[in-house]
């Protein structure tokens, strides 16, 4: 759901950076409290995720570095630091330490009821905020400068969106893990974008895709032994993306190709027909038969197109002689007029 906004802001990688940036937060929270209470750990993740995000912002606005450089830098820096802390924790003689690495790849099986409640509540809050500030989010994403001139506090809207993206990521960490979280954020949104040109529908679809991947992924991993849930969920989401890329009606590759071929065929037919029209026009009787050889002068002519014209009843074929039918002549003259109008 929130992924839609990340995709539309062309900040897709931000999700990746945030999820990696959350890792040291988890480790530090554990070091301080010494307990494995997931709420505390997630709070740590939230804080370090937010710090990472604002550092990225800072680097982009204060230096000449491009955003991908800043993202890559923060991502690997935080992740490296997080891994360092994790290995340090593992060396400690604390019986509690085992299982922290589940945040790397996620482990949905370890979720307990309170975790699910937390997720539901935060999702609910996200939904309410989204509905309330729908108009503001939309206009900021489309045209930030203009939004500012209308008197909106763009910084506030911006921080609001970013905070909720970070929240969503941090919550997903337990299920999918640091490494795969960004896929969970982006895949449903990217898939949804293929199907619609309406922001509202896009967000709804993304949420649906996300939920379905979650349910299917969990079901598949539960039915087999030794299949961890997180990766399966991500793969299911990936399949949604693949299907959307190929089969969506407007932007999909398949239909684009079909449309492309169909348009070319139509143009070829029109071209042949209009060529015949020009020849036929010079005769008093439009159905005056012509030798098929004349058409050889015309580049686009093929037997196939001529046969198609016959089938459409635009042309009569009699041995090696062709003649335009009444209908063919009319269609051709319409086409001709349309073209001259368009040019004029």
Partner 1 sequence: MRLNKMMTQDKNNDETPAFAGSIAVKVDDLTVAYNYKPVLWDIDLEIPEGVLMAIVGPNGAGKSTLIKSILGILNPIAGSVSIYGKSYEKQRALVAYVPQKGSVDWDFPTTALDVVMMGTYGSLGWIKRPGQKEKKMALEALEKVGMLPFKNRQISQLSGGQQQRIFLARALVQDASIYFMDEPFQGVDATTEIAIINILKELRKANKTVIVVHHDLQTVPEYFDWVTFLNVKKIATGPVKDIFNDDNLTKTYGINYKVSIQE
Question: Which residues, in sequence order, are CB contacts of 173 under 8 Å at separation 6+?
Answer: 19, 22, 26, 42, 45, 103, 106, 181
132 part of the interface to partner 1, by CB under 8 A:
yes
- Segment interacting with partner 1, rule: CB under 8 A, options 44-52, 68-76, 116-124, 146-154: 146-154
Nearer to partner 1, 192 or 237 (CB): 192
For the chain, list the strands marked E by DSSP.
290-291, 315-318, 321-324
Minimal distance in Å, beta carbon 127 to partner 1? 15
CA 115, 118, 124, 129 torsion-angle sign: negative
- Segment interacting with partner 1, rule: CB under 8 A, options 105-113, 119-127, 189-197, 313-321: 189-197
Tell me how far apart the alpha carbons of residues 87 and 104 are, in angstroms, rounded to a whole number: 13
Nearer to partner 1, 88 or 146 (CB): 146
Q: Give 291's strand partners.
A: 321
- Pull the structure tokens for residue 163: 């905070």
CA distances from 333 to 60, 65, 246, 280 (A): 60, 60, 38, 11
Considering only 55, 81, 152, 245, the residue that binds partner 1 (CB under 8 A) is 152
141 part of the interface to partner 1, by CB under 8 A:
yes
Minimal distance in Å, beta carbon 128 to partner 1? 12
Closest CA to 194 of 245, 137, 239: 245
Burial class of residue 230, CB neighbours in 10 A (0-12, 13-18, 19+): buried
133 part of the interface to partner 1, by CB under 8 A:
yes
Listing DSSP states for 99-129 in one string gives: TTTHHHH--GGG--HHHHHHHHHHHHHHHHH
Tell me how far apart the alpha carbons of residues 47 and 26 are, in angstroms, rounded to a whole number: 9
- Segment interacting with partner 1, rule: CB under 8 A, options 119-127, 145-153, 232-240, 273-281: 145-153
Tell me how far apart the alpha carbons of residues 70 and 129 are, in angstroms, rounded to a whole number: 29
57 part of the interface to partner 1, by CB under 8 A:
no
Nearer to partner 1, 149 or 299 (CB): 149
Minimal distance in Å, beta carbon 239 to partner 1? 23
Q: Which residue has the tokens 């923060």?
A: 74
- Segment interacting with partner 1, rule: CB under 8 A, options 118-126, 148-156, 167-175, 313-321: 148-156
Considering only 95, 112, 145, 303, the residue that binds partner 1 (CB under 8 A) is 145
Considering only 167, 202, 207, 276, the residue that binds partner 1 (CB under 8 A) is 202
Tell me how far apart the alpha carbons of residues 73 and 13 are, in angstroms, rounded to a whole number: 12
- Segment interacting with partner 1, rule: CB under 8 A, options 76-84, 127-135, 218-226, 268-276: 127-135
* Contact criterion met (CB below 8 Å) for 187 and 240: yes
Nearer to partner 1, 125 or 215 (CB): 125
199 part of the interface to partner 1, by CB under 8 A:
yes
DSSP structural state of residue 64 = S
Nearer to partner 1, 104 or 141 (CB): 141
Considering only 148, 262, 264, 278, the residue that binds partner 1 (CB under 8 A) is 148
Considering only 164, 193, 236, 275, the residue that binds partner 1 (CB under 8 A) is 193
271 part of the interface to partner 1, by CB under 8 A:
no
Q: Which residue has the tokens 């209908």?
A: 327
- Binding residues (CB under 8 A) for partner 1: these are 8, 10, 132-136, 138-139, 141-143, 145-152, 193, 196-199, 202
């Amino acid at each position: 759901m929130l992924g839609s906004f990340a995709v539309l802001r062309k900040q897709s990688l931000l999700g990746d950076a945030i999820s990696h940036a959350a890792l040291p937060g988890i480790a530090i929270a554990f070091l301080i409290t010494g307990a494995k209470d997931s709420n505390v750990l997630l709070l740590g993740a939230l804080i370090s995720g937010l710090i990472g995000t604002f550092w990225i912002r800072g680097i982009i606005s204060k230096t000449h570095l491009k955003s991908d450089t800043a993202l890559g830098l923060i991502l690997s820096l935080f992740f490296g630091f997080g891994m360092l802390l994790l290995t340090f924790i593992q060396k400690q003689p604390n019986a509690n330490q085992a299982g922290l690495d589940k945040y790397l790849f996620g482990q949905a099986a370890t979720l307990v009821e309170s975790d699910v409640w937390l997720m539901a509540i935060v999702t609910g809050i996200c939904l309410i905020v989204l509905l309330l500030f729908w108009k503001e989010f939309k206009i900021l994403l489309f045209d930030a400068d203009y939004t500012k001139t209308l008197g909106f506090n763009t910084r506030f809207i911006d921080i609001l969106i970013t905070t909720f993206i970070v929240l969503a990521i941090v919550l997903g960490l337990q299920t999918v893990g640091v490494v795969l979280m960004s896929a969970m954020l982006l895949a449903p949104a990217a898939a949804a974008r293929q199907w619609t040109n309406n922001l509202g529908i896009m967000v709804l679809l993304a949420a649906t895709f996300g939920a379905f991947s979650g349910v299917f992924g969990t079901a598949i991993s539960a039915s087999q032994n030794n299949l961890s849930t997180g990766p399966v969920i991500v793969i299911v989401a990936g399949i949604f993306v693949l299907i959307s890329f190929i089969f969506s009606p407007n932007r999909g590759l398949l239909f684009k190709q079909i449309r492309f071929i169909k348009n070319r065929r139509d143009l070829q037919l029109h071209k042949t027909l209009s060529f015949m029209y020009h020849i036929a026009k010079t005769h008093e009787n439009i159905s005056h038969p012509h030798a098929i050889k004349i058409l050889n002068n015309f580049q686009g002519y093929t037997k196939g197109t001529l046969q198609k014209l016959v089938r459409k009843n635009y042309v009569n074929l009699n041995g090696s002689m062709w003649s335009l039918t009444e209908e063919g002549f009319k269609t051709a003259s319409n086409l001709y007029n349309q073209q001259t109008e368009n040019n004029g």
